[in-house]
């Protein structure tokens, strides 16, 4: 008995030490007693009876999941590669253990299939210009499906949309043609406005002969101020009008 007592004490100490579990603030422990679920333990020191009880630890912090590039054919038959990032966290540790084998792997596979499905329903221009719309659609589908696993998808962001070289060159030509069209439209609008302004000015000058004479004198002053060896004097139409009328009578 003298020699067996220390052995018993050591065995008890080993059992007690091995039964101690420490859970951090962001961790939860799902308890099983003889194989049956017996509750979820919060942070702190917890005792787990060897052989009889088991504890599965889970983190409640947000997990960042990188969705690898997926081959997608858009609605307008353009082949692209799309990748994304999914942010999710566990909100119900009981469901995360009892309802799914590996919540992270399950979410990753679901995110890949959802990304291909949602992106394939949109045209390529929508993928490039309306990423927020695609992000919201993917998040809604993932959140609805992972709720049964005790998980919450907080955000989804499409990271990259890769096009092949042929499509990039075609888009560059399209953008160049669009810029040329806009330049021609702007030039035509400028010509239209200039013509309207000149027509209005002509009406004003024709209604006021004095204004026309002042404009004539201003033109002569502008010509005389220029350094030119040849000066052209414009002849007012009102000077030759009587001459033209007399010629017609003759």
160, 82 contact by CB (below 8 A): yes
Predicted local distance difference test score (pLDDT) of residue 219: 67
**How large is the average pLDDT for residues 62-70?**
92
Residue 16's pLDDT band (boundaries 50, 70, 90)?
confident
50, 15 contact by CB (below 8 A): yes
**How large is the average pLDDT for residues 37-64?**
90
- Which residues share a beta bridge with 156? 86
Place of tokens 């080993």: 14
237 alpha-carbon distance from chain centroid: 65
- In sequence order, which residues have a C-beta less than 8 Å from that of residue 125 and are 6 or more positions away? none
pLDDT, tens digit, 9 for 90 and up, residues 123-180: 888 888 888 999 999 999 999 999 999 999 999 999 888 877 776 666 667 777 777 8
Q: What pTM value is reported for the model?
A: 0.64
Predicted local distance difference test score (pLDDT) of residue 130: 87
**How large is the average pLDDT for residues 4-31?**
82
CA–CA separation, 172 and 163 (whole Å): 12
* SS3 readout for 72-93: EECCCCCEEEEEEEEEEEECCH
pLDDT, tens digit, 9 for 90 and up, residues 191-249: 888 888 877 777 776 676 666 566 666 666 666 665 655 655 555 555 556 655 666 66
* pLDDT at residue 31 is higher than 90: yes
Half-sphere exposure of 10 (CA within 13 A, CB side): 5
Q: E strands along the chain, which residues?
A: 20-23, 27-33, 36-41, 44-47, 53-59, 63-73, 79-90, 151-162
Predicted local distance difference test score (pLDDT) of residue 233: 56
151, 89 contact by CB (below 8 A): yes
- In sequence order, which residues have a C-beta less than 8 Å from that of residue 148 and are 6 or more positions away? 95, 99
Q: Are strands 53-59 and 27-33 parallel, antiparallel or unpaired?
A: antiparallel
For residue 214, which phi and psi values (nearest 5 degrees)?
-65, -40
* pLDDT at residue 74 is higher than 60: yes
CA–CA separation, 185 and 94 (whole Å): 64
Question: Please, what is the average pLDDT of the chain?
Answer: 81
Predicted local distance difference test score (pLDDT) of residue 14: 78
- Better pLDDT: 2 or 204: 204
Angle at 244 between CA 243 and CA 250, to 5 degrees: 90
């Amino acid at each position: 008995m003298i020699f067996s007592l220390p052995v018993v004490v050591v065995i008890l100490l080993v059992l007690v030490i091995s039964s101690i579990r420490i859970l951090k603030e962001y961790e939860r422990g799902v308890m099983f007693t003889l194989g049956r679920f017996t509750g979820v333990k919060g942070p702190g020191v917890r005792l787990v009876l060897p052989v009889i009880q088991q504890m599965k630890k889970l983190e409640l912090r947000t997990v960042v999941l990188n969705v690898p590039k997926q081959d997608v054919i858009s609605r307008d038959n353009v082949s692209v590669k799309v990748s994304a990032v999914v942010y999710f966290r566990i909100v119900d540790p009981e469901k995360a253990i009892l309802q799914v084998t590996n919540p992270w792997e399950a979410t990753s596979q679901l995110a890949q299939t959802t990304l291909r499905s949602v992106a394939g329903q949109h045209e390529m221009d929508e993928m490039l210009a309306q990423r927020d719309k695609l992000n919201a659609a993917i998040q809604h589908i993932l959140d609805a499906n992972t709720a049964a696993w005790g998980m919450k998808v907080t955000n989804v962001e499409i990271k990259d949309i890769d096009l092949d070289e042929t499509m990039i060159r075609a888009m560059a030509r399209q953008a160049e043609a669009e810029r040329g069209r806009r330049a021609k439209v702007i030039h035509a609008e400028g010509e239209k406005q200039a013509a309207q302004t000149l027509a209005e000015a002509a009406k004003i000058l024709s209604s006021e002969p004095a204004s026309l004479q002042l404009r004539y004198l201003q033109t002569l002053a502008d010509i005389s101020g220029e350094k030119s060896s040849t000066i052209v004097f414009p002849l007012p139409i009102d000077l030759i009008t009587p001459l033209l009328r007399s010629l017609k009578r003759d």
